[in-house]
Structure 1
Amino acid sequence: MRPALKAFAAALALLLDASCANLARADWRDDIGTFRIGIVAEPGAGNTVPGLALLTDAYTKALGMKVEFVVARDYTSLIEAQANARIEYAIYSATAYAAASERCGCVEPLAAPLDSGGAIGIRSVLLTRDGRVPDLMAMAVHRVVMAPFDSVGGALLPLAGLAADGVNAAEDAPFLTHANSAAAAEAMLVEGEADAIFGWIPAVAEGRPNPPGGTVARLEAAGLSKSSL
C-alpha cells in the first residue's frame, strides 16, 4: 500500500472517534449525505490512486455511509476544495495545513504525525561556530547564510519567527546570504565563509529526548564538533 494510503488507514480510527461524538444525532449521516475525502495524487499520476477502491470500501463500511474520494493534483487544489466545502476530510502535510488554515480557517486538526524517533515536526535554529554570533541582535554585523527562499526550516520559519520577535531580518537584509541549497549553506559555515547558518532540528513533544537528525547532525558529519556549535 502507498504511504499516503497507509496514512489514511492510520487516521481512520481517529476520524471514527471524532464521528462517534456525533452519534447522539441520529441524522448526522443524512445531513452530510456523502462523506468526501480529499487526497493528493502522486506527480504524473493524474487522478489515479492505486488501492483507492479498497480504502473507499473500508471507509464506507466503517462510517456506514457513502464515501467518495476527491483526488487533487496538488495541495493547492486540495486546499481550494476544502475551502469551497467540496470535501469534508483530508490529510495535509504540516505546511499545507498551515496554508489551509490561513486560507479559510475551515480546518481543524485531529492528529499530527509522529516519526519513529519521536519527532512531531521541525524547529528552526540559528547555529554559529565558536560563539561568533552571541545573540540574534548581533546578526547585523556578521555574515549569516540561509537556505533557498522555499526552504521551510532554513528560510521560511526563521524569517517568520524573527519578524514575530521584532528582529529586523528581511529577505534582502545586507547581512543575509541565500545559498543555492541547504548543503551549500552548510558548506559555507564549515569552510568559514559564514559566521552563522539558519537550519533545523527535530521538534519533540515535551518531556521526550531529542532524536538525532537535522542541520546539527549534518554539520557534525561534515567534520564540525558539536561542542563548537
Structure 2
Amino acid sequence: MLDRLPSRTLKALLLGAALALGPLGTALAQTTLRVTTIPEEAATEQVRKFTPLAQYLEKKLGMKVEFTPVSDYPAAVEALVNKKVELVWFGGFTHVQAQIRSGGKIIPIAQRVEDTKFTSVFIAKTDSGIKTLADLKGKQVSFGSQSSTSGHLMPRSNLLAAGLDPERDFKRIAYSGAHDATIASVVSGKVDAAALDVTVWKKFVAEGKVDTQAVNVFFTTPPFFNYNWSVHADLPAELREKIKAALLALDDSTPEGAEILKLNRASRYIETKPENYKGLEAAGRSAGLL
C-alpha cells in the first residue's frame, strides 16, 4: 500500500514516524547502564566494592546497571572512549588519558571529598635504612600500574622534583599493576620500596593486613586532585544528570549510603570539573608519560 503513495507523502510519513518514535527509540536503546573501574585492586575486591553502588543506581535510575571489572587501566580508558560502557571510576591520570584519546569527549561528574586533596605514600621495611627519597638510589622500587595517578604519575613527579630519575637511579623498576599487589611486593621483599594510593594503605593498616612495625610510610607527597566518576559526552544529558544526582545524594546517615560510602572509602561525593585535572595533565607531560 505504501508503494502507491506519492514519494513526497511517503517521506513525510516516514519522517513523522521517526520523530514520534525518537524518544521511545532512545529509551529502548538505553535500558542498561554499563559500569567499570580502573583495577586499582583485585577483581574480587572491585566487585565487592561496587556491587552495592550498582544496586543503588538501579533503584535511582530505574534501569538495569551492570558492573564488569576490566583487566588493566588502559582497558578502562578504551571502554569509555569506545562507548563500551557508560560510567567509569577513573584515577585522575586515566581520566586525562581518556580525555586525550577521545578528543575531549569525557566528562567528569563526581569525585569524593577525599579526591580534592589526595596523596601518595612511599613505603619500605622499617629496618631497610630507607628514610628519604634520596635513599632510594640504587634500590629496587615498585609502582602500581603505569597509568595510575597515585601509584605512578605523582610518585614519579615527586622523585623527579627530588632529582631522582627512576630509569637512571634505581637498580630495578617494577610495576605491580594494583595497589594491594604493591604492598605485597614490599612485605615479601621482592622490592625495597614502593609507592601507592594513601587510602589503600590506610585500609590495609585499619584491617590489620600489614604490620606497620615491619613496613611503614617514609614519604608522603603534597596533595593533588585524583579519582572521579566520568561519562562520555554522547551519553544523554538527562541520564548524566540523574547519575550525578544519585551519587551526590549518597548520605552516610542511611544504612545503604553508609555501606556504599565506606566501601568506596568516601565521606561523600561532590561535583567535579575538567579544570581540576589540568595539573595532572601537566605533570604527565612533564614526566614524559603523555
Is TM more than 0.5 here? no
* Structure with the higher fraction of residues in helix conformation: 2
Q: TM-score range by the shorter chain?
A: 0.3 to 0.5
TM-score (structure 2 length as normaliser): 0.36
TM-score (structure 1 length as normaliser): 0.43
Q: Which has the higher contact order (CA 8 A, sep 6+)?
A: 2
